[in-house]
Amino acid sequence: MSDCLFCKIINGDIPSSKVYEDEHVYAFMDIMPLTKGHTLLIPKTHCQDLFEMPQDVAANLYKAAPKVANAIKQAFNPVGLNTVNNNGAAAGQTVFHYHLHLIPRYDETDGLHLQWNTKKFEMNELANFAQAIQENL
Which residues are annotated as catalytic?
99
By C-beta, is 38 or 97 nearer to Zn ion?
97
User: Of Zn ion, ligand AMP, none, which one sits near residue 1, judging by CB under 5 to 8 A according to partner kind?
Assistant: Zn ion
From 30, 48, 58, 65, residue interacting with ligand AMP (rule: CB under 6 A)? 30
d(CA 20, CA 117): 35
From 32, 123, 133, 137, residue interacting with ligand AMP (rule: CB under 6 A)? 32
d(CA 10, CA 20): 11
Contact between residue 45 and residue 99 where contact means Cβ atoms under 8 Å apart: no
Please calculate the CA angle 99-92-78 and round it to the nearest 5 degrees. Answer: 60
137 makes contact with ligand AMP (CB under 6 A): no
Residues at the interface with Zn ion (CB under 5 A): 1, 4, 6-7, 46, 97
